[in-house]
Amino acid sequence: MATLVTSRNLRLNAVTDLDPARAEEAAAAPGVEAVGSVDDLLARDDVDAVLNLTIPAVHAGVALAAVAAGKHVYGEKPLTATRAEAAAVLAAAREAGVRVGCAPDTVLGTGTQTGRKAVDDGLIGTPVAATAFMTTPGHEAWHPDPEFYYRPGGGPLLDMGPYYISALIHLLGPVAKVTGAASTPRTEREIASGPRAGQRFAVEVDTHVTGILHHTNGALSTLVMSFDIHGSGLPRIEVHGTEGSLSLPDPNTFDGPVRLWPGRADGWEQLPVSAGHENAGRGIGLADLADALATGRPHRASAELAQHVLDVMLTLLDSAHEGRTLTVTTTCERPAPVG
């Protein structure tokens, strides 16, 4: 909300929610109206773009309805729950002449973008490898209604993977093939907080996923996404090249220290901020889409990038279940940097 009200090409006019009280709270700002349903929102002439913050299972349905109404769409990650849904959203948007964007937009902040500039400036030479680690015991520890994280469209990979894989694509480019492994150590989980604390629910997805992403530029990224690790000292993202290494902050945040280990030095040195939106917050991706519409350029948090990220994740899961390396059938342009 803070981002929307400060962006030059955005104005918040209407909101809706399954819980009317939430919509009323979001509509507290002057000039914003709470409406009763998505259909009511899409029928409004003063709505040009829809910010779709629903659960993964209905990302596609809301996006397709918005596109059919002639609206641009910016959605939460993942783009959709399936490849077929993603292809349908992109095809419908092309036919309707509207744009579709998708989270995460954290990669447009100073953390990932300063790291990308260091790679592009040759500070680590030719990139050869990267690592990306997201480890947690599971969202049921803090979320009062965590079931959707453990149903199709959820899990650590589809929930948190978009942050890490989007960052890796900004840093190293698209992925050509993947090799994966996955497991589900627990078939049930227990809610730990809120009014339903103590209730148990079934786990329907892999909760520990690891694999290798083979980037088209030859670099190999090692990925671990887990809801089964209670504590860890692993870094978030590191990129290693022929002339040095980089350490990047959590891609679920916009900023944080970027450190360089140059050549045969004996330690890390922190790089100054050199790229990315400073003091950014969630919503900057939608703001970038609006600015891109105003200037006629491509937007950075694009549906094409999100479709490729989704395909990488689903292909990694397929690889894990089939026990073999698989080719990723989609690709995308590396988004333009944020200067």
Residues annotated as catalytic (active site), given as ranges: 77
Are 221 and 239 a contacting pair, CB within 8 Å?
no
- Distance set, CA 227 to CA 15, 260, 286 (Å): 33, 29, 29
Please say whether the dihedral angle defined by the alpha carbons of residues 89, 79, 71 and 302, taken in this order, is positive or negative: negative
Bridge partners, residue 50, by sequence: 73
Distance, in Å, from the CA atom of 189 to the CA atom of 212, rounded to the nearest integer, reads 28
Distance, in Å, from the CA atom of 70 to the CA atom of 48, rounded to the nearest integer, reads 8
DSSP helix/strand/coil, 158: helix
- With CA atoms as reference, report the closest residue to 299 among 59, 4, 46, 9: 9
DSSP helix/strand/coil, 39: helix
Per-residue buried b or exposed e for 165-180, using 16+ beta carbons within 10 Å of the residue's own CB: bbbbbbbbbbbebbbb
